[in-house]
């Protein structure tokens, strides 16, 4: 019983992190799209946010969890 509750909490934290990283990635993309001459730092941050987001998505897929399951 306790392990199941801990797994659910961990899964929820993972989903929260995915949502936060997706928002950050899209926000950086919007900045890059509006910039005339973006710096290398912005491209680095964009790629880092994208890779972290994709990594967490793969982890969620490996754990067989999805957003729909936790929004109810």
Both tokens of residue 31?
């900045």
According to the model, what pLDDT value does residue 57 have? Answer: 92
Domain ranges of the chain: 2-70
> pLDDT-based confidence at 69, cuts 50/70/90?
low
Q: What is the pLDDT of residues 7-65, one digit of tens each?
A: 888 888 999 999 999 999 999 999 999 988 888 999 999 999 999 999 999 999 998 88
Better pLDDT: 60 or 6? 60
| Measured distance CA(2)–CA(68) in Å, rounded | 23
So what's the pLDDT on residue 72? Answer: 44
3 pLDDT band (50/70/90 cuts)?
low
What is the secondary structure of 1-65 as a DSSP string?
-HHHHHHHHHHHHHHHHHHHHHHHHHHHHHHHHH-SS--HHHHHHHHHHHHHHHHHHHHHHHHT-
């Amino acid at each position: 019983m306790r392990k199941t509750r801990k797994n659910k909490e961990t899964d929820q934290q993972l989903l929260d992190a995915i949502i936060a990283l997706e928002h950050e990635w899209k926000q950086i993309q919007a900045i890059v799209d509006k910039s005339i001459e973006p710096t290398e730092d912005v491209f680095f941050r964009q790629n880092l946010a994208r890779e972290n987001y994709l990594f967490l998505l793969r982890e969620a897929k490996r754990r067989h969890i999805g957003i729909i399951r936790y929004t109810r």
